Structure 1
């Protein structure tokens, strides 16, 4: 207690003689009442989840962003509150969402000694609570990390037909795709889908004339040989990455693929221009757009 980087109960550390009160208040930060972590420790979603579980007690089950962090999902905003399912009504606690949800016994597992919602149950809780873009980003990331499929979440929804937000969840699941490897990839796909264009496939393998796969494209349409590639900042600032991108693009286009490259500025400030470019490429390739 107190010696490592994991959250711990301050009173237990003092009683065990691991820390003095002065050390506790000087060297450690309080995350929740009675629960502390070293000031040197970055407070990630996983760290906040453990702290929340210690605070809420052993009958609590971590869900939402807390659960997906422990299942290995990436791209979680560290400012998101921890989430637990705990019977009975509780006073509001800063940085913690407490839900009085009905939970089936097989909808929770144990990770690191803590009770945690399964990926399907965590997706069920997030997908019915969050607005559409945020929900789909979170569920894409969870599916990518765990292999979860939308149909697995539907099975949980069928067990809880009267739960609040189930209709929203079912609508969100239609657009979930675990092939997305970052939020901008999800956002790019949603812009395309929401414009009424054909739904793209994700992570398309690119095979050279020698029969070997040398690349995977973020998304596109094999039928019309059109690809959409999102270039994050490192594609422009890393010299080696940029050199490979140029070589990779030349090889892909030599195979007959048409490529639309997307950056943050185009995606987030000029989405209409992005759609115009995609539509033009698809139209030229014979797609019914």
Structure 2
């Protein structure tokens, strides 16, 4: 689920790109973080401000105009595609290009978006091939790719999983489905520790603002507990700072279930 802030940032970038597009030369295209934004990938959190990046391959020239960051890329066979009516860099290439300014966790979130869903925009193999073909960026891409998992549905879930693993906890299953003894669907858990019957979920702002959704979730939480599972709900403020509060909440639940570090 995308946050309101992510959606607003994407809409802003798309509007700026559509405004600039008529001025682009045939060989120019949107790349890097701009391309990722146009594909709908999660963007770095505040205070990062996503800009409009327009690229061209040598010997063609990049734009030099206020409000647009131009990039003159090394000579290479273009791999641009049209997306929403705009010329956009290939997803795997755009991901690598973003590494010049993005942190590792931002790259992980974007990569998981690209490789997940019913129609992935890329694959882990394509991302790896891009690193091998064009080189790493200060080791960030290889470090990110090691922690990329398919199947995630929101960047906050990804950041929560990374927080738990770096806090010394086991790696959980992602979006794991819980069934009752008769094989009936109970719930899909954001993160699941099956061995200890612990579910972990990130509850975003929508759960607090939508009364109908909140009521539905409350019934779901009861159904999960009825199957002998403990559900740990993590809210945004639990992940602030170093995220120790979130890690401690899950660590305590695992300890109650018999896990020992």
- Whether the 8 Å CA contact 1:75–1:182 is kept in 2: the answer is no
| Paired positions, count | 246
**Distance verdict in 2 for CA 1:95–1:172, change over 3 Å:** farther
1:169 is displaced (CA, Å) by 0.7
1:127-149 alpha-carbon deviations (Å, 9 max, x no partner)? 45411232223333333455233
1:62-108 alpha-carbon deviations (Å, 9 max, x no partner)? 22232223334356879511222224665764442322223643632
Superposition map of 1:6-25 within 5 A: none
- Whether the 8 Å CA contact 1:128–1:169 is kept in 2: the answer is no
| Aligned partner of 1:85 among 44, 52, 55 | 55
Which is further off, 126-135 or 102-111?
Answer: 102-111
| Aligned partner of 1:124 among 90, 96, 100 | 96
2:182 is paired with a residue whose SS is: coil
**Distance verdict in 2 for CA 1:257–1:159, change over 3 Å:** same
Instruction: Output the CA distance in 1 between the equivalents of 2:67 and 2:109.
Output: 21
Normalising by structure 2, we get a TM-score of 0.80
- Whether the 8 Å CA contact 2:55–2:72 is kept in 1: the answer is yes
Alignment match, 1:167: 139
- Whether the 8 Å CA contact 2:56–2:71 is kept in 1: the answer is yes
1:249 is paired with a residue whose SS is: helix
Instruction: Output the CA distance in 2 between the equivalents of 1:177 and 1:128.
Output: 22
**Distance verdict in 2 for CA 1:76–1:55, change over 3 Å:** farther
Contiguous gaps of at least 5 residues in structure 1 = 1-41
Which is further off, 233-242 or 105-114?
Answer: 105-114
1:204 correspondence with 2:176: yes
Which is further off, 76-85 or 207-216?
Answer: 76-85
- Whether the 8 Å CA contact 1:229–1:260 is kept in 2: the answer is yes
1:59 is displaced (CA, Å) by 0.6
Instruction: Output the CA distance in 2 between the equivalents of 1:98 and 1:127.
Output: 16
Normalising by structure 1, we get a TM-score of 0.73
Which is further off, 95-104 or 117-126?
Answer: 95-104
Which is further off, 272-281 or 243-252?
Answer: 272-281
Q: Which has the higher contact order (CA 8 A, sep 6+)?
A: 2
Superposition map of 1:28-107 within 5 A: 44-73=12-41, 79-87=49-57, 93-102=65-74, 104-105=76-77, 107=79
